[in-house]
Amino acid sequence: MTDASERTLKGTGNFLLDVLAPGDLGLIAPFLQRVDLRQGQTLFEAGDEVNTIHFPCGQTIGALLVVMRNGDVAESATIGREGAIGGIVSQGNLPAFSRAVVQIAGPAYRIEAARLQAAKQQSIAIRNLMARYADCILAQIVQSVACNALHPIDARCARWILTIQDRIGNDHLPVTHQFLAEALGVQRTYLSRVLGILQKRGLVRSRRGTVEVLSRNALEEVSCECYACVRLHYDKVLIGVYGEQNPTNGARAKLKA
């Protein structure tokens, strides 16, 4: 664990942090701590007070999961380097509605919710950026509800694979069948059959612990409309989130508008 105040915080690999102007970032940099998140690590459970916020960096990915009484789970949102996990809009210390789990291990920066809240009160830019991100994560959750209710499993699976690939920027996705099955709310054996069908069509190659994207264009054709809808919304509201890993000053200016 490294305290960000020990050095200049720059090029973190997290969009929300990297898009901030130096003066705004300086309000939270002394309170950010770099941590390494483990695959399967639970960041909080439903009902927990969320007093810590995590900013995934690079290929690190987390997910918000809804857990039923019988233990069944389904994913409501995927969060990677474009966002943050935790109460980024609220005053902090509020109960979580879902479970937050690390899907792909890697680095992240964490900060106490109270520290971020104080920075938002001092900076319109931080407050505006977090509000924009909150709008995006809500859009993803709302679209997921419709997707789970209306679209077939192969289209949903393709959407999820594309969503993960966007966030890690690699054709090789270090995800297990179990994680993917939980994300889609289906049994692992059923998910394996779906991946087998996509593999026979030459879209992906599934191996133990990894899914390789072989044809992104073909995968987009199989995916439901939800993938494009959510990506377009993110790109409009958080300019540069997909097109640039290190947003420019121009992107910063647009986000302040």
- Selection from 166, 24, 4, 173 nearest residue 81 by Cα: 166
pLDDT bucket at 1, cuts 50 / 70 / 90: very low
pLDDT bucket at 250, cuts 50 / 70 / 90: very low
**Domain at 152-223, CATH class:** mainly alpha
Instruction: Between 251 and 62, name the one with better pLDDT.
Output: 62
Task: Tell me the mean pLDDT in the region 119-123.
Answer: 95
What pLDDT score was predicted for residue 89? 59
Task: Tell me the mean pLDDT in the region 180-201.
Answer: 89
Q: Where in the chain is the domain with CATH 2.60.120.10?
A: 2-147
Q: Where in the chain is the domain with CATH 1.10.10.10?
A: 152-223
Interval 49-108: pLDDT, tens: 888 999 999 999 999 988 888 888 878 899 999 999 997 755 555 788 889 999 999 999
Pairing of strands 94-95, 99-104: unpaired
Instruction: Between 5 and 231, name the one with better pLDDT.
Output: 231
Instruction: Between 157 and 255, name the one with better pLDDT.
Output: 157
Architecture of domain 2-147 in this structure: Sandwich (2.60)
What pLDDT score was predicted for residue 148? 86
Interval 152-190: pLDDT, tens: 999 999 999 999 999 988 899 998 888 888 788 888 889
Interval 11-25: pLDDT, tens: 899 999 999 999 999
Instruction: Between 139 and 179, name the one with better pLDDT.
Output: 139
Please, what's the b/e burial string for 239-255 (b: 16 or more CB within 10 A of its CB; e: otherwise)? bbbbeeeebeeebbeeb
**Percentage of the residues of the chain whose pLDDT score is greater than 70:** 87
CA distance 65 to 78: 9
CA distances from 230 to 65, 123, 176 (A): 18, 28, 24
Please report, as a single letter, which amino acid is at residue 92.
G
Mean pLDDT taken over the chain: 86
